[in-house]
Amino acid sequence: MSRQKLRIRFRKFGDLRLISHRDLARAFERLFRRACLPLAMSEGFHPHPRINFPSALALGIQGEAEWVEALLAEPVSEEAARMRLVEHSPEGLEITDVRTLDVNTPKPQVDRADYEIPLPSTRSEAAQQAIVELLGKQEYLIERDGRSVPINLRDTLVSAQVNGDRLRFTLSAVREAQARPREILEALGLGDLESHGLWLTRTAVHLTAPSSRT
């Protein structure tokens, strides 16, 4: 049987940003069923749909350019797949691109991810100073529940800047002990922004070569 691997780029926004990653995966499984795109199943005693997210998006964070890969049991044209997915997508989930990959293409690895959050003008100067201080350190250690060894946020933080009315920063994808975006906000003295009705957005997820086409 001929199979087909799809790489799909999508947006997760609005109220849908408040669902968990597990619920998002279930939403995609339902979407494929409604779109009449049969997912291939894994082998073994407990088969599951062959669908993969390179990077999970934390609860409450909006995603502007997220990725998911799916293996179909039967091939279909890229345009037909895109149109069916767009037609049946729930509110808050927007399909922006569909591409076919070789079925033997390995699972993608994330190189880095970009984030932003609105920044009140009254917090801009202090945020800029906090960025300078944080980027000037070789280490910024934090404790995390469940870990006996502190995490160095500077191992993950690639860049940070205030750009107009936005704080923007980039996190690298290290193998273990990766900093979380909300931990960066805390380190910059901005951990309260979400409680004031502002929310984080992951604006891009950059995949490593050779499988990336971002």
- pLDDT value of residue 21: 93
Residue 214 domain flag: no
- pLDDT value of residue 48: 86
Query: Which among 41, 196, 45 has a CA at the least distance from the CA of 123?
Result: 196
> Do 163 and 138 sit in the same domain of this protein?
yes
> Do 79 and 24 sit in the same domain of this protein?
yes
> Do 54 and 8 sit in the same domain of this protein?
yes
- 137: domain CATH number is 3.30.70
Q: What is the tally of structural domains in the chain?
A: 2
For the entire predicted model, the pTM comes to 0.91
Using alpha carbons only, how large is the chain's radius of gyration in Å? 19
For residues 115 and 63, give the distance between their C-alpha atoms in angstroms, rounded to a whole number. 9
- 80: domain CATH number is 3.30.70.580
Residue 213 domain flag: no
Residue 122 domain flag: yes
One-character DSSP codes across 178-200: PPPHHHHHHHTT-TTGGGGT---
- pLDDT value of residue 214: 44
> Do 192 and 114 sit in the same domain of this protein?
yes
> Do 125 and 167 sit in the same domain of this protein?
yes
Residue 33 domain flag: yes
Query: 159 in helix, strand or coil?
Result: strand
Residue 48 domain flag: yes
Residue 81 domain flag: yes
Residue 34 domain flag: yes
Encode the chain (214 residues) as per-residue pLDDT tens digits: 589 999 999 999 999 999 999 999 999 999 999 999 999 988 877 788 899 999 999 999 999 999 999 999 999 999 999 999 999 999 999 999 999 999 999 988 999 999 999 999 999 999 999 999 999 999 999 998 888 889 999 999 999 999 999 999 999 987 677 889 999 999 999 999 999 999 999 999 999 875 444 4
What domain range includes position 30? Answer: 4-101
- Asked if 41 contacts 63 with a C-beta cutoff of 8 angstroms, the reply is no
Query: Which among 7, 116, 120 has a CA at the least distance from the CA of 63?
Result: 116
Q: End of a domain among 69, 101, 133? A: 101
Look up residue 91 and give its two tokens: 């509110």
- pLDDT value of residue 213: 43
Q: End of a domain among 46, 68, 101? A: 101
> Do 87 and 131 sit in the same domain of this protein?
no
Q: End of a domain among 54, 77, 101? A: 101
Query: 70 in helix, strand or coil?
Result: strand
